[in-house]
Chain A
Amino acid sequence: MHTLGQKAVPRVLVIVPAHNEAASIGSVLRNLSIHAPMADVAVVDDGSADGTGRIAAAAGAQVLRLPLNLGVGAAMQTGYVYACERGYDIAVQFDGDGQHRADQVGLLVAEVAERGADLVIGSRLVGRRRYRFPLSRWIGSRILARLVFLTTGVRVCDPTSGFRAASRRMLSFFARHYPQSYLADTVEALVTAARHGMVIRELPARMRRNGHSSIGNAAGLWHTLRICLAVLIDRMERKLPVEPLAALEGREKDT
């Protein structure tokens, strides 16, 4: 991005899905504007009732306000549709609860822009500064990583990490097809991306500890099972064209 002979600076959109994150969204956006100034920020307000959207707009983000609470998967996809339509080259998923660190955005973006990855996962479990999971989540994470490897052959350590960067190819695919099921969307998106031939990499990323976990210990196992089932159901789905039909048709007419 900064050296001679590189292509033009990619346009980056950070997508922040937020549902009732009024307490943290302000500082998340402030950190992004300080540590990731090259990126535009789109907050997807998933039908919040606590003024999250208003705070985000006041902080200067582009706010997509969903009139209904559609769930995190659909909120995420809204961001991808927006990124695709506005012609962004790279989209970064970034949680609104303060768990992810804005100074790590550049790392993920560079991996996509300079080393040609389609989907880069900021991992909590790779590298020296490991993030300490509660035991049940650690076990769940291991099971899911194994499942991802068995179904796609892709080795990742932290398949549930929501800190990701997507290339133009990846984001336009996600704009058309992004898994919707509750809490399973990160793993499902990963498996779907791998099935459609996307290049997936994992990078160690530092995280904050103050991000509140939405899952308790007992519920962890249940969610792990649910995600496994969701992934298996996904595998039954017919594959989609990686490029949208409209583009394919246009090309056929040209030739």
Chain B
Amino acid sequence: MILADGIPLIRQLVPLLLAIIVAVATVELVRRRKLREEYAMLWIVTSIAMLVLAVFPSILFRLQEALRVNYLTIVLLAFILFLSLITMHFAVVISRQAEQIRQLAQHQAMMRLTLAQFAEQRDSEAEPLAEGEQGEEDDVEPNTTPARTTRALRPESDPSLC
């Protein structure tokens, strides 16, 4: 039995099956929330491309004739090219994520220090009132706080410069 382009069914069936497996796996991973949509797109496009090549292998034959290499070589070449591109893509993604993790960690460290400084400032402002009961209406003197803390917490520059 022959499906298309004069190729035996069995030689079309294997790539067809592969394409279907990739498509089903992608959908299933998305359904289980294990694959984000943006990467699912990549694999759905991949499985569609595999499907097209499985149904119309003549595309590959034309390419093979144009480049004057044999069938296996062209398939292997396409496969290696595809894997390289995917790997490159993931390297870029990983680099970006490493950068994001670094920024998050730095930001978290700064927040933690700022919080500690605010707590320290609050405590040192609260203490004089509690000790000397005559504080009453008077505002807490700013110079009762340690110089380092107040200075550190006062933003003196334009933060947009950073």
Question: Which residues of A does B touch, CB under 8 Å?
Answer: 11, 40, 44, 60, 62-68, 70, 74, 77-78, 81-82, 84-87, 172, 175-176, 180, 243-244, 246-247, 250
A64 to B158, CA, bound (A): 21
A179 to B26, CA, bound (A): 38
Q: Is B1 interfacial (CB 8 A cutoff)?
A: no
> How near does chain A come to B99, taking the closest CB pair, in angstroms?
9
A247 to B158, CA, bound (A): 9
Which listed residue, B106, B117, B151, B160, touches A78 by the CB 8 Å rule? Answer: B106
Q: Is B112 interfacial (CB 8 A cutoff)?
A: yes
The A-B contact count (CB < 8 A) is 72
Count residues of B near A (Cβ-Cβ below 8 Å).
21
7 new A-B contacts, CB < 8 A, other than A40-B152, A86-B155, A246-B160, are A65-B113, A67-B108, A68-B105, A74-B106, A85-B155, A85-B162, A243-B161
Which residue, B105, B117, B156, B160, has most C-beta atoms of chain A within 10 A? B105
Q: Is B89 interfacial (CB 8 A cutoff)?
A: no
Cβ-defined contact, B152 with A175, below 8 A? no
B149 to A, closest residue via Cβ? A62
Cβ-defined contact, B148 with A40, below 8 A? yes
Residues of B within 8 A of A67 (CB): 105, 108-109
Residues of A within 8 A of B35 (CB): none
A85 to B, closest residue via Cβ? B162
Residues of B within 8 A of A246 (CB): 160-161
Cβ-defined contact, A62 with B109, below 8 A? no
> How near does chain A come to B151, taking the closest CB pair, in angstroms?
8
A175 to B159, CA, bound (A): 12
B101 to A, closest residue via Cβ? A68
Cβ-defined contact, B105 with A70, below 8 A? yes
Q: Is B86 interfacial (CB 8 A cutoff)?
A: no
> How near does chain A come to B73, taking the closest CB pair, in angstroms?
34
Which listed residue, B112, B152, B158, touches A65 by the CB 8 Å rule? Answer: B112
A156 to B155, CA, bound (A): 35
Cβ-defined contact, A87 with B160, below 8 A? no
